[in-house]
Structure 1
Amino acid sequence: MRIRLFLASLTGFIEAQNLANGLLADTGLNAGFISRINQKGFDLMADYLGERVKRFLGAGELIFNISAPVPPEMRITLLSVRVTDFDSQAFASKMIVIPEKGIAWQGSNLNVTVLASFHLDTPTGELTGSSPLSFDRTNVELLLWTGVNADGHLKTDLVLCKVAANNVDLTLDAADKPITTYMPVIINFIKERIEQAICPSFHAELVPVVSNRLMNTPMSAALFEHFFVNYGLLGPVEYTDAKVTMRHRGNAFGILRQGRTRLNDFRLPFRANPLVEGPPSDKMIDFVLSNYTISSLLFWMDQYRKFDYEISRAAQNNSAIAGYLKTDCGADDICAGTLFPALAQRFPEGEVIIKSHTVSYPRIILNEGDASIYIDSRVDAFVQQGERTRRFLTSAMDAEAKLEKVSFRNYVLNAEMRVEHFKIREVASLVEGIDESSLEFLVNALTELILNEDLAKKLKGGIHLPIIFDYEQTSAEVVFEKDRIRISADYCYGDMCHTATVLESKDNVIDYYDVVQG
């Protein structure tokens, strides 16, 4: 029966995963990112579950109601009343990964005494009473499995509960002496049904906690504006020695609404490259990202024209910027006309409008200590004189931006983009004196005034990663490596969190949560 239940659950997980994957883009055989829970994380959860066991047993709760016939002509009913004694000091809680099988929580050396009432239907009549029932040196094991359920949600649930009791004892009062004859039958009855006595309470108290806090996540998440990220798995959850690993598709995608119609298009012009996950860190969880997740997000942002710009009086609504764009200004002022006298001569009393649009989607390249984003654009410049607008310049612009102020907090990877440098080329101008060098000077000034402020906000909502270990974060590090980003974090609960170390990030801002390493 247990095997059939396990296989049925596994089949349901696989079907749900196939459904989830079928709705989203094909990334090939490679993961966009990998998530991993290390043994250190399971040690924290084991401590948490151990404290929960001590609380519910300390509160007197071990609930069971067992009734069954006993051949040839008896029926025994056993009902718990309350816990009268629990050796919390001896009890030990442990959580391990069983390769290829799942996660096991193990509670060992459980010494507990329960006041139990009993009812015996015997050939000679009914016998009732209540006596202390002791379980000594008892071991409880919950085998857990994580998969995608029928709702397309990643969930951890119970597969099997096993109990091994080294000693079971029922202490009878003098008034219960008539029952002494049946003691061997009663003890055997309890031993045969030990899991019915122990498992329900441990299931009810521990499994919901594990399900809520461990790998409990939908298969996609909203980012910001129209953008989403796909957490769909490329295969089953991997259970290996001392860690659990999941390989996620990791592509970002956009959803466009037109009236009541929602238009979904998840196709990308590239696939995920092979991702080498590297060894586990010394922290509780790790994420390893290739450039695929950020690249696909940048691709969809580009589809929504997020990297196209217009610099004009109307677009900026800034009087200072509007002054710089004039072709005529006072002798002591600085404007486009003073920078390029030929422009003022050819287009008097005009205003310059600069527009840029990308000619390909942005690309991100990851190296040791560095994340660079390359944006190739076409720049057109116009002069507006009254109702007339004329283009006087076109050029190509190659910009290199960096990811800065990178942090990881509450499963969100945050970063700002900033233009590091750019190159103007292929300038075709109707105005004498405007070439690559002079145009670079102008664009550099406008970048400092306008573009960098806007770029810094492009990823304002951050990249949300799946909540695989739901405790309070104490520290994290984000490390740029060759062809990947590694994120590692530690967590805590309860009073332990008050002693968390304050770590300093590289931007010299004291923060409880992030350390960026390069």
Structure 2
Amino acid sequence: MRIRLLLAVLAGFVESQNLANGLFAETGSNAGFVSRINQKGFDLMANYLGERVKRFLGAGELIFNISAAVSPEVRKIHYRQQPMRITLTSIRVTDFDAVSFASKMIVISGKGIAWRGSNLNVTVLTSFHLNTPSGELTGSSPLSFDRTNVELLLWTGVNADGHLKTDLVTCKVAANNVELTLAAADKSIANYLPVIMHFIKERIEQAICPSFHAELVPVVSNRLMNTPMSAALFEHFFVNYGLLSPVEYTDTRVAMRHRGNAFGILRQGRTRLNDFRLPFRAPPLNEGPSSDKMVDFILSNYTMTSLLFWMDQYRKFDYEISRTAQNNTAIAGYLKTDCPGDDICAGTLFPALGQRFPGGEVIIKSHTISYPRMTINDGNATIYIDSRVDAFVQRKKIQYVPKIRKYFVKEACCLSSSCKLVAFRNYVLHADMHIERFKIREVASLVDGIDEGSLEFLVNALTELILNEDMAKKLKGGIHLPIIFDFEQSSSEVVFEKDRIRISADYCYGDSCRTATVAESKDNAIDYYDVVQG
């Protein structure tokens, strides 16, 4: 029966995994990110489940109602030839040794996750009913299970709804000492005691497993690797958690390899379409060893780069700097080609511009010429954005003559942005993009005095006034990672390593969370970016 149940569960998970992932995967793909739960996390889960066992047994709840005919083989062993039927029903727990009870959760390599409750010493007041040809016998007696071990084997997979779920595969009980204590008034039943004890020992799992299943498995299912296969980020963007392979069980951890690509939602009339197309693939990801924390996420640049790609498709890195775009009187003043007195404006920075286009306003527009790239090195992550910049002067409208725009400079600009204020909170990776360096090249100017050097000065001023404030908000919603261990976060660290980002976090529950604080990234207070590549 257990084998059939296990095969059915595994077959269902495999079929569901294929349904969830078959349309947008290819053989040999690399993981965009890897998620891991380490043994330290399972130790916390074991403590949590142990406390739950103590609560429900301490409240007197161990529920069973077993009724079955005694088999001819058992009757023959105990010299009972007549048909018998026994019914056992629990009334309440009268004694539970909470001090001796131990709770442990481990990973069994290649098989799943096992929760083990050992040294279970419990006494249950039980009513019994014997139906024999000579009549019916009823009574109630304490039923004791001493030094009993309970094991729940659990398996995680994608269910029919395309949702990652952890569920029970088998429940095993090893009862070392089972006793049914009869009262003096139950002498008529004493002759049947060997048959009753045989009946109980044969069905010990029916007596114990239902309560442990009902009390513990839903908790595990809710808190352990319970996640959909995608999540909304911000605006039009989503991230794909689909698995490249089944959940991996090793002796010290559980690992999952996720596709990790961001994708966009396209609209065609009233139809919404998921678009997974990307012009690049995930690079090989060196996962590295487990940390000393409960949960690890290892990210290549694939998740972030694919998000930047889709943001670029929605022109999130195209800019217009003008009086109307910024709606800022101070900025509008800087963009004038002539200004009174000692004021500073485009005309004073570039006198030839003011002479050639008096009474005008500068409009600067940029558009990316390729999607942004991200590189990750020890201690830093850098995002490169290549843009083409066009600058115009718009002359004031004269009666019967519309506004006239005249181009005066074109250039290419490469920006390098760093990730600042990096933190991981509640399964969301937060970071502010900050422009660190830029490089001007391929300047084509129609105005004397406008060259690479002067444009770098101008771009630097605009960066401080406008661009950095806007760039810091680009990732305002953060990168949402799957909730694989649903407890309160107590601490975290985000570490940039060669070609990967490692996120590690510890969790807590109850009183242990009162003094816990969430630590931000250990890398976010240092300026690493001195050179623009390219």
Q: Please give the TM-score of this superposition, normalised by the length of structure 2.
A: 0.94
1:445 to 461, 464, 488: 461
Q: 1:498: Cα distance to partner?
A: 1.3
Q: What does residue range 123-142 of structure 1 map to in structure 2 within 5 Å?
A: 123-142=133-152
Q: 1:220: Cα distance to partner?
A: 0.2
Question: Stretches of 4+ moved more than 6 A in 1?
Answer: 515-518
Q: 1:264: Cα distance to partner?
A: 2.6
1:329 maps to: 339
Correspondence 1:122 to 2:132: yes
- Structure 1 CA distance, aligned partners of 2:273 and 2:123? 62
Q: 1:502: Cα distance to partner?
A: 6.5
Give the stretch that moved more between structures: 463-472 or 27-36.
27-36
1:305-357 deviation line (CA, Å, top 9, x unaligned): 00000000010000000000000101210000000010011111000000000
- Structure 2 CA distance, aligned partners of 1:8 and 1:334? 76
Q: Is the CA contact (8 Å cut-off) linking 2:336 and 2:345 kept in structure 1? A: yes
Correspondence 1:151 to 2:161: yes
1:24-56 deviation line (CA, Å, top 9, x unaligned): 365952100000000000000000000000000
DSSP-derived class of the 1:499 partner: coil
- Structure 2 CA distance, aligned partners of 1:27 and 1:478? 31
1:292 to 302, 320, 335: 302
DSSP-derived class of the 2:473 partner: coil
1:430 maps to: 446
Correspondence 1:69 to 2:69: yes
1:59 maps to: 59
Q: 1:22: Cα distance to partner?
A: 2.7
1:244-286 deviation line (CA, Å, top 9, x unaligned): 0000000000102344121332110000111010000000000
Q: Is the CA contact (8 Å cut-off) linking 1:30 and 1:249 kept in structure 2? A: yes
1:200 maps to: 210
Q: Which amino acid in structure 2 is aligned with residue 164 of structure 1?
A: A
Q: 1:3: Cα distance to partner?
A: 1.4
- Structure 1 CA distance, aligned partners of 2:370 and 2:427? 30
Q: What does residue range 390-469 of structure 1 map to in structure 2 within 5 Å?
A: 390-469=406-485
- Structure 2 CA distance, aligned partners of 1:251 and 1:506? 26
Q: Is the CA contact (8 Å cut-off) linking 1:127 and 1:179 kept in structure 2? A: yes
1:108 to 104, 108, 118: 118
Q: 1:156: Cα distance to partner?
A: 0.1
Q: Which amino acid in structure 2 is aligned with residue 22 of structure 1?
A: G
Specify whether residues 350 and 501 from structure 1 end up closer, same or farther in structure 2 by C-alpha distance, changes over 3 A only.
Answer: closer
DSSP-derived class of the 1:137 partner: strand
Q: Is the CA contact (8 Å cut-off) linking 1:31 and 1:247 kept in structure 2? A: yes
- For structure 2, list consecutive stretches of 5 or more residues without a partner in the other structure: 73-81, 398-402, 530-534
Q: What does residue range 23-422 of structure 1 map to in structure 2 within 5 Å?
A: 23-24=23-24, 26=26, 28-70=28-70, 71=72, 72-385=82-395, 386=397, 387-422=403-438
Q: 1:113: Cα distance to partner?
A: 0.2
Q: Is the CA contact (8 Å cut-off) linking 2:422 and 2:521 kept in structure 1? A: no
- Structure 2 CA distance, aligned partners of 1:283 and 1:505? 15
Q: Which amino acid in structure 1 is aligned with residue 65 of structure 2?
A: N
- Structure 2 CA distance, aligned partners of 1:251 and 1:201? 41
Q: Which amino acid in structure 2 is aligned with residue 40 of structure 1?
A: K
Q: Is the CA contact (8 Å cut-off) linking 2:127 and 2:140 kept in structure 1? A: yes
**What's the Cα RMSD here?**
1.7
Specify whether residues 18 and 444 from structure 1 end up closer, same or farther in structure 2 by C-alpha distance, changes over 3 A only.
Answer: same
- Structure 2 CA distance, aligned partners of 1:62 and 1:114? 7
DSSP-derived class of the 2:353 partner: helix
2:493 maps to: 477
Specify whether residues 197 and 270 from structure 1 end up closer, same or farther in structure 2 by C-alpha distance, changes over 3 A only.
Answer: same
Q: What does residue range 6-17 of structure 1 map to in structure 2 within 5 Å?
A: 6-17=6-17
Q: 1:17: Cα distance to partner?
A: 1.4
Q: Which amino acid in structure 2 is aligned with residue 263 of structure 1?
A: L
1:369-389 deviation line (CA, Å, top 9, x unaligned): 000000000000000013111
- Structure 1 CA distance, aligned partners of 2:281 and 2:512? 43
Q: Which amino acid in structure 2 is aligned with residue 88 of structure 1?
A: A
Q: Is the CA contact (8 Å cut-off) linking 1:400 and 1:421 kept in structure 2? A: yes
DSSP-derived class of the 1:225 partner: coil
Aligned residues: 513
- Structure 1 CA distance, aligned partners of 2:259 and 2:288? 18
1:512 maps to: none
Specify whether residues 487 and 188 from structure 1 end up closer, same or farther in structure 2 by C-alpha distance, changes over 3 A only.
Answer: same
DSSP-derived class of the 1:9 partner: helix
Specify whether residues 502 and 277 from structure 1 end up closer, same or farther in structure 2 by C-alpha distance, changes over 3 A only.
Answer: closer
- Structure 2 CA distance, aligned partners of 1:142 and 1:379? 63
1:490 to 506, 510, 516: 506
Q: Which amino acid in structure 1 is aligned with residue 86 of structure 2?
A: I
Specify whether residues 517 and 147 from structure 1 end up closer, same or farther in structure 2 by C-alpha distance, changes over 3 A only.
Answer: farther
2:78 maps to: none
Specify whether residues 506 and 234 from structure 1 end up closer, same or farther in structure 2 by C-alpha distance, changes over 3 A only.
Answer: closer
- Structure 2 CA distance, aligned partners of 1:505 and 1:243? 24
**Percent of aligned positions with the same letter in both sequences?**
81
Q: 1:289: Cα distance to partner?
A: 0.2
Q: Is the CA contact (8 Å cut-off) linking 2:391 and 2:409 kept in structure 1? A: yes
- Structure 1 CA distance, aligned partners of 2:517 and 2:120? 34
DSSP-derived class of the 1:461 partner: coil
Q: Please give the TM-score of this superposition, normalised by the length of structure 1.
A: 0.97
- Structure 1 CA distance, aligned partners of 2:187 and 2:373? 84
Specify whether residues 126 and 517 from structure 1 end up closer, same or farther in structure 2 by C-alpha distance, changes over 3 A only.
Answer: farther
Q: Which amino acid in structure 2 is aligned with residue 390 of structure 1?
A: K
- Structure 1 CA distance, aligned partners of 2:463 and 2:95? 72
